[in-house]
Amino acid sequence: MSNNVEETLQGNLGCFAAADHRRPTLCVGARAVPAAACSGSVAAVPAAAKRHHLPSIVGQVDHRDQLAAVDLYKSYRKGPVEVPVLRGVTMEVRRGEFLAIVGQSGSGKSTLLHLLGTLDAPDQGEIHYAGRRIDNLPARGRDTLRNRQFGMIFQFYHLLPELSTLENVLAPLMIRHGVWSYLRRRREHRARAEELLETMGLSHRLKHKPRELSGGEMQRAAIARALVAQPDLLLADEPTGNLDQATGQEIIRILRTLNRQQNLTIVMVTHDRAIADQADRIVRLTEGRIES
């Protein structure tokens, strides 16, 4: 099963990459970090990156980075007590990179991912995306960014229970387009969503509601949803956290394939070392700081 999915992925995602006019131009020369080289020296790369960025002043970011966090602070208020979660996190994500953020629960890795995905605003620090600061964008701009540039998948899949699998996958497109422009191009959108679901091995589940799917199927549907808007960046929050090992491996394989075939930048948060090891690079987060 998992192999099948991977094979169809390799076949079909290649088509998307070719059909997509945006991505090839972005990706030319962006494949700076060869996957094989990276996975061999997981620890060395962050260290090098860190060194490279240490002298950089806040606000000046290397434009080769697709996403960068500079000196992020974030704390949550629990009643009268202020609980610091992030205490000066600086990190960057290269174009086409498969990055894993690992850390114990409570280390702030999910919060970091939310900040990177503009779902939350940092108390202090900056986030840059493709050379532009995004954490201070107006709500409208952040919504557009999440809708068009970022794809997100979550531990609990977060599919809308009222909608069928197909409608869930179409949701980002419905959000992007108004009623008329959506209806005018609905065949096109639908074809794309169906194709994506087929590559995820879910073509027999189009009309099913999420509660009728298994965990792995839901996560694959969520991946299809994240990809339907052709994002530049995929943010994955514990994508395997709720799945058994085999299914989790399958999800990771899909992500891995997406990363290779489409040169899709992926940032994945996990607490599972075995999962994290399959990424190009690992960033370790301890008590709100990047462990060097």
Partner 1 sequence: MYKLLLCWRYLRTRYIALASIISVTLGVATMIVVNSVMEGFTSEMQNRIHGIVSDLVFEARSLDGMPNFAWHAEQIRKVAGDDIEGMTATVVVPAMLNFQYNGNWITRQVQLIGIDEKTQSSVSDFSRYLQHPGNREVMSFELREDGYDTRDHQAGPDARERKQMAEAGWKRRRQSARLQAFQRDYFKSEKPAAPLPGESPSSPSPSDDPFAGRLPAGAQPEGNQFDPEKQQHTGVVPGIAMTSFRTPEGEDKFLAIPGDDVKLTFPTAGQPPKATSDDFTIVDFYESKMSEYDASFVFAPIRKLQELRGMIDPSTGIGLINAIQIKLKPGADGEAVRDKLRAAFAPELYGIYTWRDKQGALLAAVQMETAILNVLLFLIIAVAGFGILAIFYMIVVEKTRDIGILKSLGAPGRGVMGIFLAYGLSLGLVGSGVGMAIGLLFVRYINEIADGLAWITGRPVFDPSIYYFYKIPAVVVPQTLAWIVIGALSIAVAASILPARRAARLHPVEALRYE
Note whether 160 binds partner 1 by CB under 8 A.
Answer: yes
Size of the site for partner 1 (CB under 8 A): 32
Q: Which of residues 161-190 bind partner 1 (CB under 8 A)?
A: 161-163, 167, 171-172, 174-179, 182-183
Q: Write out the two tokens for 254.
A: 């899909």
Under rule CB under 8 A, residue 119 binds partner 1: yes
Positive or negative torsion for Cα 273, 275, 279, 285: negative
Determine, following the binding rule CB under 8 A, whether residue 130 of this chain makes contact with partner 1: no
Min CB(55)–partner 1 separation in Å: 33
Binding to partner 1 (CB under 8 A): which residues in 97-116? 114
For the CB of residue 101, give the shortest distance to partner 1 in the complex, in Å. Answer: 16
Among 2, 10, 39, 147, binds partner 1 (CB under 8 A): 147
Binder among 35, 89, 145, 236 for partner 1 (CB under 8 A): 145
The footprint of partner 1 (CB under 8 A) covers: 114, 117, 119-120, 139-140, 143-148, 152, 154, 158-163, 167, 171-172, 174-179, 182-183, 225
